């Protein structure tokens, strides 16, 4: 078994949760995205123009890194590296509540 090489893919650490309080903190999110990690960003509670500016900046950064971005709720954004797939299942929440 000495011929096995380590797999240098995504860590099994899970997802990073990030709640920035200023635009200057955006760099922390970029570092996480560059590392190929999943990132959930909560912009709730920020002034609306700042929240929009951060969302646009981080979405552009994800695009530049060939990553993916989706807004999963009001002011909640998910950023994924290119090796992840983000699939939206519309109506699933309502369906679960009925069963």
Using 50, 70 and 90 to split pLDDT, how confident is the model at 13?
low
Tell me the two tokens of residue 51: 């929240």
Q: What is the pLDDT of residue 14?
A: 82
- For the chain, percent of residues with pLDDT exceeding 70: 77
Which of the pair, 37 or 2, is modelled with greater confidence? 37
Rounded CA separation 62/50 (Å): 18
60-97 residue pLDDT tens:
999 999 999 999 999 999 999 999 888 777 665 554 44
What is the CATH T-level fold of the domain 15-98, as seen in this structure? Translation Initiation Factor IF3 (3.30.110)
CA R_g for the chain: 16
Residue 34 confidence (pLDDT) above 50 = yes
Over residues 55-63, mean pLDDT: 97
Over residues 41-57, mean pLDDT: 96
Positive or negative, the CA dihedral 71, 54, 25, 35 is positive
In three-state secondary structure terms, 81 is coil
Where along the chain do its domains lie? 15-98
């Amino acid at each position: 078994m000495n011929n096995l090489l380590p797999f240098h893919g995504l860590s099994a650490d899970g997802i990073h949760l990030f709640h920035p309080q200023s635009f200057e903190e955006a760099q922390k999110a970029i570092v996480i995205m560059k590392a190929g990690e999943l990132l959930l960003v909560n912009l709730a509670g920020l002034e609306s123009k700042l929240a929009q500016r951060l969302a646009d900046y981080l979405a552009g950064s994800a695009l530049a890194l060939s990553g993916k971005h989706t807004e999963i709720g009001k002011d909640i954004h998910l950023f994924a590296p290119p090796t992840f797939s983000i699939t939206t299942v519309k109506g699933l929440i309502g369906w679960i509540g009925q069963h």
